[in-house]
Structure 1
């Protein structure tokens, strides 16, 4: 692979995996504006590994507490807030798994167009803006109930529509049920862990069924760069939303979506 390709793809993955701006909307532009061939499944797996490593490292203390408490709860030692949060993460992941499995052919064949991506960027961006402006509350990720989790979980399934943004739609849903900006973002990031594991696992299965030559230097650099950028994005996103909220990302989504619609369809 071209080293410039490695860097650009890793940067795009690292930034768009966690910001509410849609990775699919940005990745679709790479083959449009460059002469590069498809990077292959192996490199996709490497980029996902970088993002996964970043979110696990950033939330390592919360993850350890959830795992320890969940194991204790399974042994009958009671359910504390950390065990409950771990259960909520697992439950909220089920809708996207089920709907993604049942509708994967429909999504792959009919929904990966620039029209759908552009419309999704604008529509779900405006919804995020509304939720942040009118509906956000003060509750943290530890204060959720079953109804909240189901709403967020089924909202996450909407991210199967290209251009929606997984982090964007889960943050939107969390804000709509009364969570704070920080609580909504933190739960969205925790939700990304099983989703990235499943997505990366599916790509790894595809890689095993269709073996290809692996460019190990590119894989290693892509993983490290994607992970570093993703970690920084998580950190600074949580800082930015405390001061500015979601509106800068809403403006970006709407402008970018309208540009995509104009560029490809007018």
Structure 2
């Protein structure tokens, strides 16, 4: 890939990773429409590291509290609101981790078509719109239960299907459970940390076991661009989420899905 392609793909990954619009649907467009080369395993690892650094940096205080609470609950049997949320994040991560181990190869071989991505982009876009229109969501993360965490966790597992959008489906599930937009997004972003670590580790292991040449300059640029763009995406999304509905994202998903359908007919 040349420098322009690296920057564009890293921007796409950084922005779409945390918006409810599906990064996989967007990353396929340059390849299918412009004939760009596949970004490859090494670049996948790089942009995942970039988005991971962004969410860790943005929620660094929350993460410090969660880790402190979790270690205190393990070592000292001292439980707190932070330790409870940390355990629920771990619990909610398990379904996606299990599905990833069992179904990753099947999905890679059979569900990465434009037809599948178009369908999931539209279907889960409509579901997001329905969830956002439910009246008076008022629950906050203090009321998160084991059952609710598992429901959101199983929803996250569905995001393995390209076009679903990890942030989109987890926010949708939280909204359907009655959580506010802000807390739905906040839990979705915190939940992204372990799953991005697992995903990057899995792709990184495949890279280590292959003989693919690594372009370190492109990878470094990809990390920086995806990280910076993801950080600002998280910041502005959380800043405006309570004043905006999900309707713009729903409309965008419907238009994108229709556009992908046009590519295959």
Going from structure 1 to structure 2, the CA distance change for 1:180 and 1:34 (only over 3 Å counts) comes to same
Q: Secondary structure at the match of 2:174?
A: helix
Report the TM-score, using the length of structure 1 for normalisation: 0.96
1:34 deviates by 2.7
Q: Residues of 2 paired with 1:118 and 1:85: CA distance?
A: 35
Change (3 A) 1:260 1:39: closer
- The change in CA–CA distance for 1:170 and 1:177 in structure 2 (over 3 A counts) is same
**Structure-1 residue corresponding to 2:49:** 49
Change (3 A) 1:102 1:187: same
Corresponding residue for 1:2?
Answer: 2
1:60-75 equivalences in 2 (<5 Å): 60-75=60-75
Deviation digits for residues 53-90 of structure 1, max 9, x if unmatched? 00000000000000001111112342111111111110
Is 1:202 the counterpart of 2:202 in the alignment?
yes
Task: Measure, in 2, the Cα distance between the counterparts of 1:108 and 1:253.
Answer: 22
1:157-210 superposed Cα distances (whole Å, 9 cap, x missing partner): 111111110000000000111100000000000111011111110111111111
Distance 1:260 1:171 in 2: 24
Q: Distance in 1 between matches of 2:75 and 2:43?
A: 40
| Cα distance between partner residues in 1 of 2:136 and 2:21 | 19
Residue 193 (structure 2) aligns with:
193
RMSD: 1.3
Question: Moved runs in structure 1, 4+ residues, more than 4 A?
Answer: none
Q: Distance in 1 between matches of 2:28 and 2:136?
A: 32
Q: What is the match of residue 128 of structure 1?
A: 128
Gaps of 5+ in 1: none
TM-score under structure 2 normalisation? 0.96
Question: Which structure 2 segments of 5+ residues have no match?
Answer: none
Pairwise CA distance, 1:248: 0.8
Conserved in 2, the CA contact under 8 Å of 1:20 and 1:165?
A: yes
Measured in 2, the distance between the counterparts of 1:150 and 1:91 equals 7
Task: State the Cα deviation string for residues 133-157 of structure 1 (Å, max 9, x = none).
Answer: 1156122223201111111011111
Partner of 1:161: 161
